[in-house]
Structure 1
Amino acid sequence: MARNTAFKLVGVALSAIVVALVVFNVFNLNEAYGNGPPYYSRTTNMDKWSNPIPVLGVLDVLVVLAIAGYVRWWRRLR
């Protein structure tokens, strides 16, 4: 009984973390690349721009590892 409750709690927490990181990635990619042509306000500080893909890629890898660990834990309980 306790394992089932822990399994559900970890599943809900992992789902919330995955959704939060997906939203974080979407907002950062939209801010970095925008959703239109580069207007004057977007090109004035291009010397300070940095590519967000490496940091977001690391976050995505961590999410994939967390999901893989959860799936492995779920298979061990079955």
Structure 2
Amino acid sequence: MDRPDFTDLVSKFMDRTLDNSTLQEIVASASEAKAAVDAEIRDRQSNIRLVEMVGMVVDAHRDSLLKKIQEHGVPTGLPEVM
């Protein structure tokens, strides 16, 4: 399920504070905007963790390949590692 863009919800909240909305409408809009911002933060933190994990896997694979090259030399057909 797609959720509304958090920037749209924050804008809606800001608009409500500037027009003649009731306090109840402003509070409801603020709650909706905060929930959307919190969800966006969780998504971005999740994406950062995923990128960090992929980076660790790539680093480990690179280190493993470099160790094999140091132990056994460069396989035929591959360029020398500087």
TM-score (norm 2): 0.46
Largest Rg, 1 or 2: 2
- Which structure ranks higher in relative contact order (CA pairs < 8 Å, sequence separation ≥ 6)? 1
TM-score for both structures, normalised by structure 1: 0.48
Higher helix share: 1
